[in-house]
């Protein structure tokens, strides 16, 4: 299975990996079929409703870790409403393609981000849910 250079770069040197102790929201999802588990941490600017910081912890394959990092890159700086509109295809595009059998990793990224936003008190205040 061949991965793009961008996918391998994000796998070997992810920018957004790590736990966030003072997160405003946390979301976790897993894929039962492949065993990948993703956890997303968000720090939100309450005034602008923008994602100030985002981190991930992912247990999974090359594609899962790279997709987590790419999703964080895309989401950082966006409002919660904008972040909810991120599609798995945006993550695939950011990675410069993924093997078809690994696209589910990008879907896991979007669903985990949505779970984190669902758990965000700021989202509740602005009626994003």
Catalytic residue among 61, 72, 105, 120: 105
Catalytic residue among 34, 61, 72, 120: 34
- Backbone dihedral angles phi then psi of residue 12, each to the nearest 5 degrees: -80, -25
The DSSP result for 69-109, as a single string, is HHHHHHHTT-BHHHHHT--HHHHHHHTT---GGGTHHHHHH
Cβ–Cβ under 8 Å, residues 126 and 49: yes
105 a catalytic residue = yes
CA distance from start to end of the chain: 38
Nearest to 71 by CA among 85, 81, 61: 85
34 a catalytic residue = yes
Active site residues: 34, 105
């Amino acid at each position: 299975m061949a991965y793009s250079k961008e996918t391998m770069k994000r796998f070997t040197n992810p920018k957004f990996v790590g736990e966030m102790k003072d997160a405003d929201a946390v979301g976790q999802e897993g894929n039962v079929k492949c065993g990948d588990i993703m956890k997303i941490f968000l720090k939100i600017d309450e005034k602008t409703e923008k994602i100030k910081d985002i981190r991930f912890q992912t247990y999974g394959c090359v594609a899962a870790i790279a997709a987590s990092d790419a999703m964080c890159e895309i989401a950082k700086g966006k409002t919660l409403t904008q972040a909810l509109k991120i599609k798995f295809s945006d993550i695939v595009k950011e990675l410069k393609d993924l093997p078809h059998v690994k696209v589910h990793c990008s879907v896991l990224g979007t669903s985990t981000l949505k779970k984190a936003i669902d758990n965000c008190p700021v989202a509740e205040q602005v009626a994003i849910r």
